Amino acid sequence: MGSGNWSTDVYAAAASYRAAKGTSAFAYSDSGARAVHDDLNPYGVPARESRDSAEHPATVAVAVLFDVTGSMRGVPRTLQAKLPDLLGLLLRKGYATDPQVLFGAIGDATCDRAPLQIGQFESDNRMDEDLGRVLLEGGGGGQKSESYELAMYFMARHTTLDCFEKRGRRGYLFIIGDELPYPKVKRREVGKVIGDRLGRDIAIKDIIAELTRKYDVYYILPAGASYAGDRQVLDAWRGLLGQNVLELDDLNAVCETIALTVGLGEDAISLDEGLSDLDELGSSAGTVVGKALARLDRDTLVVAEGLDLGGDSGVVRL
């Protein structure tokens, strides 16, 4: 995986073909599917790989995982529609050399049929195909928590990144959601969903410590979600990720936010330069993106105090 190059013309042709046939970009889910697509099933997967090649000698891994429960089901449709904006900024504006993008979806392992869906790292239009295979289950347990920690476990232990292993550069992981993680990676759920046999549960702080050695991790809470602006959710995530928690006033700006965050992390742009690029491209997302990224400061860690992420109640307590 990871060969080839992104083409907006190929993307547009596929969109035109679907429109002519009256089919959706998410035909697998819209067909009435009730199980994870085989290509996105994490069970038994040794690793999703972001690898260098002669075609892409200096890859940068970018993973985007999104909550598909309840009101968050609109996220993948927005991502799919805005893919040209994301890739245009990363590639044409040089925000990242040889970016490889992975998409995945998060549900609730306590009750959903598809609690975790993980695509491949891709450089070309196969990333659009992976998005189209996502099952938009729309479930969730209704308890203000989803299985983000299970997804983080997979990304920590089942991805291999040449940018990290060869060059000591972390990849980028964006989690788009609106609820709390569970306080532990549960060994029973890992066995059922991923296939690993663990001797014990893993505290979420421990898996995040492991994950952030390999990735710069960001949590994006968009407007319109059930818990948009919820202080409990925001404080809990800030207790885990510090300033890398982004409130987004418009979901339609998510791809631009991801692209500029990567550009900032790669030292390819300043925030002002990135916002100027959005203006040049005719994007209306500049104000929203600027507000979301204003908190980011590479030398400052904002940590919420007084959090209790332990216990066995099944939810993160404040």
Supply the pLDDT for residue 301: 34
Name every residue whose Cβ is closer than 8 Å to that of residue 243 and which is 6 or more positions away in sequence. 295, 296, 297, 300, 301, 302
299 within domain boundaries: no
59 within domain boundaries: yes
47 within domain boundaries: yes
Supply the pLDDT for residue 308: 41
Cα–Cα dist 189/175, whole Å: 20
315 within domain boundaries: no
Count the neighbouring beta carbons within 10 Å of the beta carbon of residue 34: 10
Residues of the chain with pLDDT under 50: 297-318
Cα–Cα dist 133/151, whole Å: 18
1 within domain boundaries: no
| pLDDT tens-digit series, residues 222-248 | 998 888 899 999 999 999 999 999 999
Nearest to 50 by CA among 103, 112, 102: 102
For residue 147, what is the domain's CATH number? 3.40.50.410
Q: Give the total number of structural domains in the chain.
A: 1
305 within domain boundaries: no
Domain membership of residue 43 as a residue range: 8-293
317 within domain boundaries: no
Sign of the Cα pseudo-torsion (279, 285, 288, 289, in order): negative
310 within domain boundaries: no
| pLDDT tens-digit series, residues 107-164 | 999 999 999 999 999 999 999 999 999 998 876 556 789 999 999 999 999 999 999 9
* Model pTM score: 0.91
